[in-house]
Amino acid sequence: MHAGVYLDWLEAGYHGEMAWMARPDAVRRRLDPREALIGCRTVIVATLSYSPDDSSMPGPAPAENDRGQPLIARYARGIDYHDWFETRLDALADDVRSLDPDARVRRYVDYGPVLERDHAQRAGLGWIGKNSMLISPELGSWLLLGELLTTLDVEPDPPFVPDRCGTCRRCIDACPTDAILDDRTIDSRRCISYLTIELRGSIPVELRPAIGNRVFGCDICQDVCPWNAAPQPGDPTALVPGGHAEFPAMQEWAEALLEMDRDVYREAYRGTPLARPGRDAMLRNLCVGLGNSGDRAAVPVLRRCLADASELVREHAAWALERL
């Protein structure tokens, strides 16, 4: 996302409730890495591929047509990648310091104010696709990005100039909530990943049917991308499955979460991406998924959700019951 597009994106309010993205200090650091690391001369960008070793892509995930099963974004089906990626970046930072012991280095793994896809394109790793994802000709878009900011002056790689999306609109046309904008950015307020992970409040009623059984994140725009048809396999050690790699059916999952309070949930999902939304938001998502399932066998668990202490859960359970 180039600086001008980023500022226009914020001005339009497309970041939704992610207020930290619009904080003045965060904006300054995104626009100028020297605000994040005084004396910064170089941004080193690394990719972590979680591309499935599966030649059947693109296409729907196995549970796509089973409305009783939850759909989880691919990156979230194992452990939280941050720790693994940070360890690799720390080793790379040691290599940088070996070139100059006085060099200062600061790392980021998608949690810092860095225009990471813009830097990745300028580093020659790929181009920013119409779905706003970085797309590598070899690896597709199943990529996580990490950065090292350093005071070491390194000769830059040539940028990746070609736009290889061409006239393709598969990601735009496939998005069920029309979240993909013409300037290669996302209206987060309509994005299923945002709605099921970052949004803390109520999911807009008009968008709930389009979410289907996606209870954590969304891969639709990547599933349909031709550049993901046969990517090189990713690192098999990158996202080692955690304790929740196999997910129960939505009814069973909702019943289990109803027995947990927020602290128990946090401990149960510690070290996995599913810790981020918290117990109430995950139950909210499951209620939406059950409401979209068309399965009246979900009525008993949804009625239990109507008595939950969380108003958020109760509201979405009532919607789901009405929909069924």
Enter the tokens of residue 304: 């239990």
Residue 166's pLDDT is 96
Residue 324's pLDDT is 96
Calpha distance 311→158 (Å, rounded): 53
Do 272 and 153 lie in one domain? The reply is: no
Do 29 and 164 lie in one domain? The reply is: yes
214-221 mean pLDDT: 97
Residue 189's pLDDT is 97
Residue 64's pLDDT is 53
Calpha distance 193→213 (Å, rounded): 12
Do 80 and 212 lie in one domain? The reply is: yes
Residue 83's pLDDT is 82
Catalytic residue at 110?
yes
- At 231, the pLDDT band (50, 70, 90 cuts) reads confident
Burial 169-207, CB ≥16 within 10 A → b, else e: ebbbebbebebbbeebbbbbbbbbbbbbbbbeeebeeeb
Catalytic residue among 110, 163, 178, 235: 110
User: What's the predicted TM-score (pTM) here?
Assistant: 0.92
Calpha distance 42→44 (Å, rounded): 6
Residue 253's domain comprises: 248-324
Do 90 and 187 lie in one domain? The reply is: yes
Residue 5's pLDDT is 87
Lowest-confidence pick of 69-83, 102-116, 232-246: 232-246
* pLDDT tens figures, 243-301: 445 689 999 999 999 999 999 999 999 989 999 999 999 999 999 999 999 999 999 99
- At 154, the pLDDT band (50, 70, 90 cuts) reads very high
Do 103 and 230 lie in one domain? The reply is: yes
* Pairing relationship of beta strands 127-128 and 134-135 according to DSSP bridges: antiparallel
Residue 41's pLDDT is 97
Calpha distance 257→286 (Å, rounded): 10
CATH number (domain holding residue 299): 1.25.10.10
State how far the alpha carbon of 175 is from the alpha carbons of 71, 130, 241, in Å. Answer: 15, 12, 28
